């Protein structure tokens, strides 16, 4: 069965510092990969997605992610974090073989210190 691992439960970075959130997936074929963000008490907003093609994808709010097939990873990055980026971030994988359902990682809580 497919699974998604986000190794870091919490990450704290200083405002203006760079950020990398890790995501690894377990699936035989190429999955479709997503990063969502959830602010406190809010729903999920899509940051970016990877379906095929260029392995470096750009998203909203200055985020980017790189798909590395050899490492089964899809890490999320941002060069300079803003206080408003404090939220919980979820990596997810979707596969046609599993009925187009999204399988989510456990999430990473990002704290930004000023």
Partner 1 sequence: DTAVSQTPKYLVTQMGNDKSIKCEQNLGHDTMYWYKQDSKKFLKIMFSYNNKELIINETVPNRFSPKSPDKAHLNLHINSLELGDSAVYFCASSQAGAGPYEQYFGPGTRLTVT
Residues near partner 1 (CB under 8 A): 32, 34, 36, 38, 42-46, 49, 51, 88, 90, 94, 96, 99-104, 106-107
78 or 107: CB nearest partner 1: 107
Q: Which of 49, 25, 55 is closest to 37 using CA atoms?
A: 49
58, 53, 68, 113 alpha-carbon torsion, rounded to 10°: 10
In the complex, the smallest distance separating the C-beta of residue 25 from partner 1, rounded to whole angstroms, is 14
In the complex, the smallest distance separating the C-beta of residue 95 from partner 1, rounded to whole angstroms, is 9
Neighbours of 64 (CB within 10 A): 16
Longest dimension (CA), the chain: 44
13 or 87: CB nearest partner 1: 87
15 or 38: CB nearest partner 1: 38
In the complex, the smallest distance separating the C-beta of residue 92 from partner 1, rounded to whole angstroms, is 8
The answer to whether 75 touches 65, Cβ cutoff 8 Å, is yes
């Amino acid at each position: 069965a497919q699974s998604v691992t986000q190794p870091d439960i919490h990450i704290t970075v200083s405002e203006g510092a760079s950020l990398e959130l890790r995501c690894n997936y377990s699936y035989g074929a190429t999955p479709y990969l997503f990063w969502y963000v959830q602010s406190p008490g809010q729903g999920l907003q899509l940051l970016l997605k990877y379906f095929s093609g260029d392995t470096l994808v750009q998203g909203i709010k200055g985020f980017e992610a790189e798909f590395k097939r050899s490492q089964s990873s899809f890490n999320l990055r941002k060069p300079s974090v803003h206080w408003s980026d404090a939220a919980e971030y979820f990596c997810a994988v979707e596969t046609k073989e599993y009925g187009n359902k999204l399988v989510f990682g456990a999430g990473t809580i990002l704290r930004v210190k000023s």
